[in-house]
Chains A and B, each alone.
Chain A
């Protein structure tokens, strides 16, 4: 396996594997938020704020994977 194909494989694996955890995490965040909104509709605004906070925190992990995947794939690191 030469370097280019190894890099492409590494990029694909980094992004694909890195999407598993945050995907599950974002699902949990939104399911919890929707349940909380259903139980307590008056607190919807506050729940939405924290929902996006949790969403962005989980999503940041995927962004790490994306950035490092891109850096590997395009030969920057």
Chain B
């Protein structure tokens, strides 16, 4: 027992638990009384780029997720520029980046060995953008620091989940939390809601939908490049009678539904993760969110990976002749060589 207490990790964990319990019983609760942590389903405009006054509907809003996307872009470009002069023997930071790129490249080689050089930029861009975006979005303060704005009737569409939690019976029964933080700029009083400066890009359906459109467009483009007009025979197949037409129709529908499933998969995971963290922080602050936070880190990485890998698989699928023209990479879609990766 005493040896266990000397362990540094155990000490840190115990410290977190003790401090959390202390704060909890002191009444410092994130979602109590005047304190609110906001999550809204849609991104909020920070200011209007088309010059209209605030309050009316804005044609081109500059949203907080757009700002975050620009921040992530700057991070990615800075990583790229910092490696402008590559060294033959990698050291330090270059090692990490090379490991990430090479690891993903080797995995992509396992999926489609012939076309990986041509395909690689698109899935790699998606992977690294969403990897950085999702991980940066988990830094505390990203969705919780912002300006307060008065809630009006016009904002009823952008209902915030925290206000719903506020009116939940539990919150009312347990009223009377301390208001230590209400004086701080990050917290808004009643009748106000927080407009955070930054919002996870993947928690904005516009961003994920744009990425899904680009990904599916590139899939079609590579398919047409590889097969020419022959590519469209998989959708409009009149040679094999009624069944061929029907199968082609199904292919067409599944092609369109890919956009939706791409967009909603990553949006749902990241946005759902934010909601889960907020709800858990409401149920039992400081301690209960910890395991979910770890799970969100895992989800952030795996969802970026899934988006990229599915794009790659669809691309390699689209370049294969539907009626069996290229036997050399006809069936090698999800059968990588065992010693290729790892």
Contact = CB atoms under 8 A, between A and B. Distances in A.
B159 A46 contact: no
A67 B338 contact: no
Interface string A60-77: 100110110011011110
Interface residues of A, number: 23
Contacts, number: 60
A6 interface: no
B272 A66 contact: yes
Contacts of B110: 46
B272 A46 contact: no
Majority SS of interface residues in chain B? helix
B268 A66 contact: yes
Given A42-B338, A49-B341, A64-B264, A74 B161 contact: yes
Majority SS of interface residues in chain A? helix
Contacts of A52: 302, 305
Contacts of A76: 41, 157, 159
Interface string B259-302: 00000110111011001100000000000000000000001001
A67 B164 contact: no
Contacts of A56: 299, 302-303, 305-306
Interface of B: 41, 107, 110, 157, 159, 161, 164, 264-265, 267-269, 271-272, 275-276, 299, 302-303, 305-306, 309, 334, 336, 338, 341-342
Interface of A: 42-43, 45-46, 49-50, 52-53, 55-57, 59-60, 63-64, 66-67, 70-71, 73-76
Closest 4 CB pairs of A and B: A45-B342, A63-B268, A67-B268, A60-B265
